[in-house]
């Protein structure tokens, strides 16, 4: 096999390795972004429930004073 052919074959192998590494990187980034999105969604839901609980607790004095 000529040196040029060997070089071309090795170069193609390196390109394939690089492409697979890029695919893995893109898949990892996608998973990370989906996880961040889920965490943000969960945090938003928790904050909403917390806000509701605070409003409920703050309404207690006025609700109790109306009972007297």
The domain segmentation of the chain, as residue ranges, is: 1-39
pLDDT-flagged residues of the chain (< 50): none
Question: Residue 9: its pLDDT value, please?
Answer: 97
CA atoms of 55 and 60, how far apart (whole Å)? 9
CA 14 to chain centre: 31
- 39's tokens: 């965490």
Q: Could you tell me the pTM of the whole model? A: 0.65
Question: Residue 60: its pLDDT value, please?
Answer: 85
Question: Residue 54: its pLDDT value, please?
Answer: 94
Question: Residue 1: its pLDDT value, please?
Answer: 74
């Amino acid at each position: 096999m000529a040196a040029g052919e060997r070089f071309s074959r090795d170069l193609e192998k390196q390109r394939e390795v690089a492409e697979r590494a890029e695919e893995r990187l893109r898949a990892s980034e996608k998973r990370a972004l989906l996880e961040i999105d889920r965490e943000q969604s969960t945090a938003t839901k928790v904050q909403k429930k917390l806000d509701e609980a605070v409003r409920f607790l703050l309404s207690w004095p006025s609700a109790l004073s109306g009972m007297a």
